[in-house]
Amino acid sequence: MNPKRLLIVGGVAGGASCAARARRLSEDTEIIVFERGPYVSFANCGLPYYVGNVITKERSLFMA
């Protein structure tokens, strides 16, 4: 039997959530996330603060 493969387009909040959920549902599925930007996910809940100039450095939204 061939292993299942899941391809996810978009690696920000929705894509990362989808990948995490898929992993919880199946440890055997190969999960591949495609993201065109330089970061896979970021603190999406901080975006209103960045847009409202409360957070002035975009880099503050990223974590390692």
Instruction: Please give the pLDDT value at position 63.
Output: 63
Is the pLDDT at 43 greater than 70? The verdict is no
Instruction: Please give the pLDDT value at position 37.
Output: 85
Domain tally for the chain? 1
Instruction: Please give the pLDDT value at position 49.
Output: 83
Enclosing domain of residue 25 = 5-61
pLDDT band at 48 (very low <50, low <70, confident <90, very high): confident
Flag whether the pTM goes above 0.85.
Answer: no
Alpha helix segments (H runs only) across 1-64: 13-25, 47-51
Instruction: Please give the pLDDT value at position 57.
Output: 84
**Strands, E assignment, the chain:** 5-9, 30-34
Supply the residues annotated as catalytic. Answer: 45
